[in-house]
């Protein structure tokens, strides 16, 4: 996965004054996909935690091996290297599930989310390619933009991918971490654990409640360049919901005072520059929340809000920064938050 592709969310730590019998809240943490993961589990079984840890690491390793563009042996890297139109490329169940959700998101957002932008990601210096000291030329951007079209990839029978254009290549980083969160949450639920929180690289799924019986509280970073990861801008409460944030203030560079972020507009080939600095999505799955947060960054405040307000069970908070540096919040009808 692309390192630091998404904004990190600081999980608020509360003082636990009440408990569920002898249940303890155990923290499981580690590294995956070029980032970190943190999982809080409320249970009274230490043996179960040990077993879960091994299963989590195995699951995450499988997903990373499938969709990491930083690994030459990953499925996605081997697919990108394939230059034969119409040849079937067999994929794993994980890859297929992400492609199914990606296709849905591509259509839902009218192409604002497009996984075929990988050549542009590299061109702008946000992928494996080394970042250069100059901006890409308009001609180079225009040439690579001709290859951006997620419809040029077909999913056949949930088992194979094939290219309609030989030069097409994909990057699923803006949705795959969310998928990993969902798979870990699914794994924990199968262990008959109902109260837990999963966070991978800032993407979150909260199930049930904390040890004190209250809903999980999630802090959203202040969308300011150089802000510490624990500088909280807004707080939301979650129960049996996913939460993902996308922003332009962590992974970026500046040229002549202008910021160029890792979030690219697949329609123009350029980094987004519409005033939106942060988008937070609450949804039923983290796969969807993760990808939609990126799409709304591209769509902008007006179109993004209109889309989210049409979706059942989905809410968003959009933060816009004006020319004087002040932040203004725009929330969907059902998005509830509090100030820290």
Whole-angstrom distance, CA of residue 148 vs CA of residue 157 = 23
Highest mean pLDDT among 212-216, 247-251, 253-257, 304-308: 304-308
Write out pLDDT tens, residues 123-157.
999 988 777 778 999 999 999 999 999 999 999 98
- Residue 48: pLDDT band (50, 70, 90) is confident
Distances (CA, A) of 192 to 196, 208, 261: 11, 12, 41
Type and span of the H or E element at 316: strand 315-321
User: Is residue 90 scored above 60 in pLDDT?
Assistant: yes
Mean pLDDT computed over every residue of the chain: 91
Q: Dihedral sign, CA of 244, 245, 250, 255?
A: positive
pLDDT digits (tens, 9 = 90+) for 177-230: 999 999 999 999 999 999 999 999 999 999 999 999 999 999 999 998 777 778
Name the residue ranges covered by the structural domains of the chain: 67-171
- pLDDT at residue 245 greater than cutoff 50: yes
Residue 257: pLDDT over 90: no
Place of tokens 């809410």: 315
Q: Rg of the chain over CA atoms, in angstroms?
A: 20
Q: Percent of the chain, pLDDT > 70?
A: 92
pLDDT tier at 284, thresholds 50, 70, 90:
very high
What region does 33 belong to: left with phi over 0, alpha with psi -120 to 50, or beta?
A: left
What does DSSP say about strands 196-200 and 35-43: parallel, antiparallel, or unpaired? antiparallel
pLDDT for 70-88, tens place per residue? 999 999 999 999 999 999 9
Judged against a pLDDT cut of 50, whether residue 332 lies above it is answered with yes
Return the pLDDT at 177.
Answer: 97
* pLDDT for residue 9 is more than 60: no
Q: CA-CA distance, 33 to 201, in Å (whole number)? A: 8
pLDDT at 250: 87
State the pLDDT confidence band at 47, using cuts at 50, 70 and 90: low
Q: Which pLDDT band, with edges at 50, 70 and 90, does 51 fall under?
A: confident
- pLDDT of res. 230: 80
Compute the average pLDDT of residues 4-16: 39
Q: For residue 276, give the H/E element and its range.
A: strand 276-283
Q: Are 238 and 215 in contact (CB under 8 A)?
A: yes
- Is the predicted pLDDT of residue 14 greater than 80, yes or no? no
Domain 67-171: which topology? T-fold (1.10.3980)
Higher per-residue confidence, 21 vs 317: 317
Least confident piece of the model among 108-117, 121-130, 176-185, 280-289: 121-130
Structure confidence by residue, pLDDT tens digits, 231-244: 899 999 999 999 99
Residue 22 CA: distances (Å) to CA of 18, 151, 158, 189, 192: 10, 53, 44, 20, 17
Residue 22: pLDDT band with limits 50, 70, 90? low
């Amino acid at each position: 996965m692309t390192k630091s592709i998404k904004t990190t969310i600081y999980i608020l730590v509360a003082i636990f004054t009440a408990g569920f019998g002898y249940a303890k809240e155990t923290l499981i943490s580690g590294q995956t996909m070029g980032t970190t993961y943190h999982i809080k589990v409320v249970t009274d079984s230490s043996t179960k935690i040990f077993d879960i840890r091994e299963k989590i690491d195995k699951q995450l390793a499988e997903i990373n091996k499938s969709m990491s563009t930083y690994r030459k042996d990953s499925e996605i890297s081997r697919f990108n290297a394939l230059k034969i139109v119409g040849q079937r490329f067999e994929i794993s169940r994980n890859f297929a599930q992400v492609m199914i959700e990606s296709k849905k998101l591509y259509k839902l957002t009218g192409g604002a989310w497009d996984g075929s932008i990988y050549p542009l990601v590299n061109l702008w210096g946000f992928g494996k390619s080394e970042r250069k000291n100059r901006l890409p030329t308009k001609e180079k951007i225009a040439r690579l933009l001709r290859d951006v079209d997620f419809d040029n990839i077909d999913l056949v029978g949930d088992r194979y991918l094939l290219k309609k254009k030989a030069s097409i290549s994909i990057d699923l980083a803006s949705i795959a971490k969310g998928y990993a969160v969902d798979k870990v949450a699914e794994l924990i639920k199968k262990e008959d654990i109902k109260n837990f929180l999963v966070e991978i690289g800032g993407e979150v799924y909260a199930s049930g409640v904390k040890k004190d019986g209250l809903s999980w509280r999630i802090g959203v970073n202040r969308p300011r360049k150089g802000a510490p990861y624990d500088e909280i801008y807004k707080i939301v409460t979650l129960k049996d919901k996913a939460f993902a944030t996308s922003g332009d203030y962590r992974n970026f560079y500046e040229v002549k005072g202008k910021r160029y972020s890792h979030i690219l507009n697949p329609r123009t080939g350029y980094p987004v520059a519409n005033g939106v600095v942060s988008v937070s999505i609450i949804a039923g799955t983290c796969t969807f929340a993760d990808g939609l947060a990126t799409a709304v960054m591209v769509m902008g405040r007006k179109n993004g809000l209109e889309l989210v307000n049409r979706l059942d069970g989905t809410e968003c908070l959009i933060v816009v920064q004006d020319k004087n540096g002040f932040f203004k919040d725009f929330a969907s009808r059902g998005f509830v938050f509090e100030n820290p």
